[in-house]
Amino acid sequence: MDIEKIAETLEQENAAGNFMPQAWRGKLTMDQAYQVQLATLRHRIGRGERQTGWKVGLTAAAMRAQQNVHEPCFGYLLASGHRPSGHQYDFDKLIAPGFENELCLRVSKTLRGPGVTLADVAAAVTHAAPALEVIEKRGNFTDDLPLAMADNAQQHSYVTGAELALSDVNSNLGAATVDVLVGGVVQETAPGSAVMGEGALLSVVWLANKLAEFGLGIEAGQVIMSGSFTRQYAIAQGMTVDSRFSPFGAVTARF
């Protein structure tokens, strides 16, 4: 398959408001879908965008079982998608939006697989910030997972609070917790161990080794949205989200 041409075709469809087009249902393998995603990233960088890092999804075993997949998934993050805590979104400009509660991790040294270990990641990840990933359901994620990966795994943007050095807090990310408040009402409290069954550093291990399959690594200075502590929440117009991560602080967004 001509990956570059497929990426261009899907970008043209997206520009016309036709996301995850029916004509491409069932046409891509997961490997081809990631290649299309990465080609789209190259195109966007060529048009002046700047990549800030990566996202990891499907980090909970229960979510993978629900989607009938055997591993997590990845997408890319762009500087144009970053929002500071307190950001107010224009709800009417979002497509069936939702949010997830995550830690955004900063990597201080390059990680290149294969063979990246948990010890390598622990030495490379130096900072964490409370974060929300804002997703868009631009199509049926479960109906065609490869096509969803080609569409950058539902990524729209990400909101981060203040970054903290892991040396200043408890760096056991599995022991972190989040209290999710919507409209000031607590919806749930969830543990960091919900991510990969142990904590967010394992997401980075998986990502570094997965990217190696495509000749890529995690570059020094990049950030990783490392997977949700909770289920994905749908966003309603007028909603205010306040997610409080212990010991990392809070992140808020309004819609």
**Is the pLDDT reported for residue 63 higher than 80?**
no
pLDDT per residue over 118-164, tens digit each? 999 999 999 999 999 999 999 988 889 999 999 999 999 999 999 99
**Residue (of 254, 247, 245, 253) closest to 180 by Cα position:** 245
Are the beta carbons of 241 and 181 closer than 8 angstroms? Answer: yes
Are the beta carbons of 245 and 200 closer than 8 angstroms? Answer: no
Distance CA 172, CA 166 (A): 9
Q: Is 55 exposed, middle or buried (0-12, 13-18, 19+ CB in 10 A)?
A: buried
Distance CA 96, CA 98 (A): 7
The answer to whether domain 3-254 has CATH 3.90.850.10 is yes
**Is the pLDDT reported for residue 60 higher than 90?**
no
Which residues lie closer than 8 Å to 40 by C-beta, 6 or more apart? Answer: 7, 10, 11, 150, 152
**Is the pLDDT reported for residue 26 higher than 80?**
yes
pLDDT band at 61 (very low <50, low <70, confident <90, very high): confident
pLDDT band at 229 (very low <50, low <70, confident <90, very high): very high
Give me the residue spans of the domains in the chain.
3-254
pLDDT band at 1 (very low <50, low <70, confident <90, very high): confident
